Structure 1
């Protein structure tokens, strides 16, 4: 065991030496890479502090939260710019932690895939290959949401550097969003065939987790039937179960436990300046949507004067849970059904979730007078608040012309609005572009 642990630490240190200076920028000798065995790859893919740590920028961009002038002024320049929905948020010499973090995941996946190519076709090799493909797909999907236009609006002029192998001496290919998402789907479809039906730990993907990301992808691409089928696959398995919010303690500092019954795949986003700040307030417009009888209001939020702070992380502390959970599948399936004009089926699916979220179904029934699509989208925002999915939803709803209320933030008595599709993606950091071109 000690020998395995030491090898694991050496693997991580080696990858860190390569990736901490940026993806594909330095050209280290490949001989310093030590992964050679199944055990080595297993260690790489279990490094959850790397592979399950998600980006911060998409949380900052989302309209779930607001802050005050004094706190905004304490943020780093790139965080300030992102909060104001500026397209160019990085200074010329500034690194992007999120960019580097996501490409480090891709490099880890590519290294793992290359090693596995030479290790035969055994069951464990196949499963590990599936995990590596999933990690690569999820990272490119997240990068596309940050640095590429919506797939329904974007042209081919905005591109992302892509590599499907770990050869640091090989130049990247530059792909538009359409081609990136084709690769994401291909990786996920293959991963589904290779990974197991269940996983020992929730930092590892299984078939249901892969389908959950496919459901997200299909919603993003407005492929409603495919999204429904992916969500239904998970709901029909019955291996994860909804929490009953009637049984939760709303007086607890953090009501939800880590790895609770709804968690399918672990993910975390953490920042003392943003996610853990005592001045990261819930958007008042969003708070107003939690009506009487909604059990989420006292479980998710705590009052701070006239404002509200978030306490409902499924990580059980101040770190945000940005993984994958079961309620999202009910919401994705319901939205797809409503958009396919199967309105009653969609509302019936929503009612299963609502039974666990409302004090009584009488409170839920009071919502049924709303437009069905508006209701589903409102429930999605309320249920998935601070889960890292809102920016993706904002982009796709904007593409559909359904982001009715223009998101607005106020800093120093000046209003900033999220208007125009060109504000719905970030420009790649100049520093990273220079490294890619060298």
Structure 2
């Protein structure tokens, strides 16, 4: 085994899904390699530490997703946090503390995943089978891919704007050795290739499901990897691959399917392909942030910072159940989503990949390939039927462009408040705010501040990094 001085945060575990009690191990913030990978129990604890780090507020605990929706036209941010207001107004700079923490915590989780990938095969525990080692490495690869994809979408221009050669993020693929290494930024194309390699290499070694529903929905599976592959290919406009990977998920009807109504929120059911598991005692935020804190009105014990925008409200039919059953009016006369009902204890799971998204991925990809086609119509009509709306037919659309625009609007309403809207606009080269909005010009695809700055702290300690255009 290589001489690794410390694995930073590799044993950081929480309760419920990633419980120290369940694993009978001691949580630590720094473990030697020998301890972190000494036996099966320790190896699995190190792996679950990756999920726990990814649970944090700045990672998959809501912050990047809230930013993505209020940078776009779905959500208004009316809160008092100046670092978030600056992002919403396209006025932020590289010393923004929120962005600094977001970058650091993503890479902390990536480093933890790297350690699992690098050292699990070398564990001396002979009872740890080759299949178990391969599965644990595959789970870490999935999480690393998910983390890096979120980062490259936040900090780099999409391929539709900057091409494959656009400046991306550093590819950090090794465990921390105690030595600080200055990694340069790779291109977006290189980052995407790395992500796709991680996912395809992981796929065959991942389980289809686990014994518990919380693990089946909260740990990496073949379905989750295929769903993420579908998203990556969709964002890259690899339409056939996006459609095929989505189909791989949807074919498993025993595990994945659309809920018949909107009572599925917070449950580990077929509507969820992958979610970050939270509970009252183990969640990404115990303070004033988090999904429910932002998205619920103040009188419910939340902050009430992120209500519907008027633009989003106008997109719904008045009888659309996605509006009538998933919203409520606050005392400030603003409308709020009810997707995250627990602003006090933050026990709502983080909806990272839903079956609904996979359905929409396939519908959009097939529309790009075949124009107005029956399968895409059938998929969209499944969602519209659940929403209490009439079905649409081929005759309702003038052509491919009209049909794709319609699918994107359905995607907007289905996935509102889950962090998809920003990239759905940017990958089509569209402004994040509509004509007439004060930020319309600044929000045009390709404008400097539609992506986040590299934190100044990272530039100070790593001379290999270069700043994004338009930031000090």
TM-score tier by shorter-chain length is 0.7 to 0.9
After TM superposition, the structure 1 stretch with the greater mean CA deviation from structure 2, 157-166 or 270-279, is 270-279
Equivalent pair of 1:52/1:203 in contact (CA under 8 Å): no
Are residue 115 (structure 1) and residue 116 (structure 2) matched?
Answer: no
Q: Judge which range, 52-61 or 137-146, deviates more.
A: 52-61
Deviation at 1:213, TM superposition (A): 0.7
The ranges of structure 1 where at least 4 consecutive aligned residues each deviate by more than 4 angstroms after the TM superposition are 1-6, 30-33, 314-320, 401-404
SS in 1 for 2:27: helix
CA displacement, residues 65-96 of structure 1 (integer Å, 9 cap, x when unaligned)? 1034xx3xx20x321211112363534x8872
CA distance in 2, matches of 1:354, 1:388: 21
Structure 1, unmatched stretches of 5+, are 16-29, 250-254
1:393 counterpart residue number = 424
- Structure 1 residues 187, 294: CA separation in 2 closer, same or farther (over 3 Å shift)? same
Q: Which residue of 2 aligns with 1:141?
A: 149
For the 8 Å contact 2:231–2:242, the answer to whether it is kept is yes
TM-score by length of 2: 0.76
Contact 1:78 1:90 survives alignment (8 Å): no
Secondary structure of residue in 1 paired with 2:370? coil
1:205 aligns with 2:220: yes
| Structure 1 length-normalised TM | 0.81
Residue of structure 1 in register with 2:170 after alignment: 161
SS at match of 2:185: strand
| Displacement after TM superposition at 1:348 (Å) | 1.5
- In the other structure, the counterpart of 2:327 is 301
Are 1:330 and 2:340 counterparts? no
**Per-residue deviation, 1:113:** 1.0
Using a 3 Å threshold, how does the CA distance of structure 1 residues 409 and 98 change in structure 2: closer, same or farther?
A: farther
Q: Which residue of 1 aligns with 2:55?
A: 52
Match of 2:8 in 1: none
> How far 1:51 moved relative to its partner?
2.4
Q: Deviations along 1:333-378, whole A, 9 cap, x unmatched?
A: 00011111242221122122322222x5xx2349973531121110
| Alignment check: 8 A CA contact 2:258 2:271 kept | yes
Aligned match of 1:20: none
Cα distance change, pair 431–9 in 1 and its aligned pair in 2 (3 A):
same
For the residue of structure 1 that corresponds to 2:251, the secondary structure is helix
Q: How do 1:399-418 and structure 2 match up within 5 A? A: 401=430, 405-406=434-435, 408=437, 417-418=442-443
Match of 1:26 in 2: none
Verify the 8 A CA contact 2:142 2:202 in the aligned structure 1.
yes
> d(CA) in 1 for partners of 2:268 and 2:438?
34
Q: Could you say if the C-alpha distance between residues 32 and 204 of structure 1 is closer, same or farther in structure 2, counting changes exceeding 3 Å?
A: same
Cα contact 1:131–1:195 (8 A) shared by 2: yes
- Is 2:311 aligned against 1:280? no
Confirm or deny: 8 A CA contact 1:127 1:195 kept in the other structure.
Answer: yes
Residue 21 of structure 1: aligned partner: none
Shift of 1:392: 2.1
C-alpha contact 1:61 1:85 (8 A) present in aligned 2: no
Alignment partner, residue 413 of structure 2:
382
Gaps of 5+ in 2: 1-18, 278-283, 296-301, 465-472
Q: Check 1:153–1:315 CA distance in 2 against 1; reply closer, same or farther (3 A cut).
A: farther
Give the conservation status (yes or no) of the 8 Å contact 1:36–1:115.
no
How far apart, CA to CA, are the structure 2 residues paired with 1:409 and 1:33? 55
Partners of 1:312 and 1:2 lie apart in 2 by 29
CA-based RMSD of the aligned residues comes to 3.1
The question of whether the paired residues in 2 share the 8 Å contact of 1:137 and 1:188 is answered with yes
Equivalent position SS for 1:219:
helix
**How many Å separate the matches in 2 of 1:40 and 1:32?**
9
SS in 2 for 1:264: strand
1:257 aligned residue = 266
Shift of 1:4: 7.7
Deviation of 1:114 after TM superposition, in Å, equals 1.6
- Give the number of aligned pairs: 400
Instruction: Describe the superposition over 1:113-167 as per-residue Cα deviations: whole angstroms up to 9, x where unpaired.
Output: 1221214761111111110100111111111011111123226463422211113
Q: Which of 122, 133, 140 in structure 2 is aligned with 1:132?
A: 140
Structure 1 position 301, deviation (Å): 0.8
Relative distance call for 1:43 and 1:188 in structure 2 (3 A) is same
Query: Which one of the candidate residues 317, 320, 338 is aligned to 1:291?
Result: 317
Structure 1 residues 405 and 367, CA gap change in structure 2 (3 angstroms): farther
1:180–1:367 distance in 2 versus 1, CA, 3 Å: same
